[in-house]
Chain A
């Protein structure tokens, strides 16, 4: 099992977010937000002024950070950097595509769910529930 990535066991880790303002506000209200000593946040608010480059950088930063276990990313944001999300294949941190308020959720775009569907196609459990 040398080739497989090691799964770190940590007592506490953060949840990072890349999403629109409303979603972020909600999750911050729940208390997932974190600001470290260098005033770096564990979330990125995506609005009309945010460039794809910024999203890419944030995604790369969150995926390489040690203390982040889960990354929540709005699906329409994930679609902007689809190639990055699809090429990402490490178990930790886990990438989770979440629906956002303004954009309807499309299961077909989800990188993991499409794989699930593909594996399930013979049993057609997922296909009937679109």
Chain B
């Protein structure tokens, strides 16, 4: 796998190991937090999905009612009412206000409609069918209410969808790329440090052995020396030079092995 062989290009030192460990801790925490965020967003997302489905259905109902109300108004007030309405358009009295809502750091737009100024269509259908026209108006305002709600749900849906995708991508990147890489690096540094330690240990052992042997040799030399001195002292007491005795002994051992004192 690509994740297995990857590691950061660092110098294997104890400091670097500390840094890497800190980074791994940070990555782990970030991963946990992002995971939580993703979960929170998903919960919100599911709620919005359910709301969208139910609102879409009620929208069908409301649109039907308002269409029917319009037909009624047309029947009562005459077909030419639409020309009156179309001519009367000037400025929108029904407008939309948008504000933001914050869900786990994701800004969701919320729309709400509001009435601004008086309606110009108040006098429409004054001659006949005024009641029906006003009812029709009310029905359409109701429709707008539902539609605006649906619009904000839908916008939230799209935004959340995008946000969830981004968050999940980050979670996966942390989990599958950043963390293994850091772990690999830490393992590499640890291995490298162990190697160094073993080398050091071996060197120490080597030196220790060398020293031991040196001491032994010195000890042996000292012993030999002290023996020699002792022998000399003894031989001096006996009046024989240690050198000659030595020589004599050495010569004797070389020549004849059977000589016994």
Contact = CB atoms under 8 A, between A and B. Distances in A.
A26 B70 contact: yes
Interface in B64-80: 64, 66-67, 69-70
A29 B124 contact: yes
A30 B96 contact: no
A95 B141 CA distance: 19
B260 interface: no
Contact of A113 (B50, B56, B85, B151): B56
Given A13-B96, A116-B49, A41 B162 contact: no
A48 interface: no
Interface stretch (B28-36, B114-122, B187-195, B218-226): B114-122
A51 interface: no
Interface in A1-58: 1, 4, 7-15, 21-35, 41-42
Interface residues of B, number: 64
Contacts of B86: 24-25, 28
A109 to B, nearest CB: 12
A94 B98 CA distance: 11
B62 to A, nearest CB: 10
A15 to B, nearest CB: 6
Contacts of A22: 67, 70, 82
A41 B133 contact: no
Query: Quick one: which of A12, A29, A95 has the most chain B CB within 10 A?
Result: A29
Given A7-B100, A27-B140, A29-B133, A91 B49 contact: no
Contact of A15 (B115, B144, B155, B163): B144
Given A96-B151, A116-B52, A89 B67 contact: no
Interface residues of A, number: 52
A32 B144 contact: yes
Contacts of B64: 99
Interface string B160-177: 011100100000000000
Contacts of A32: 92, 94, 144
Given A92-B109, A129-B57, A33 B67 contact: no
A126 interface: yes
B52 A112 contact: yes
A15 B96 contact: yes
Interface of A: 1, 4, 7-15, 21-35, 41-42, 69-70, 72, 89, 91-92, 94-96, 98-99, 101, 105, 107, 110, 112-113, 115-116, 119-120, 125-126, 129
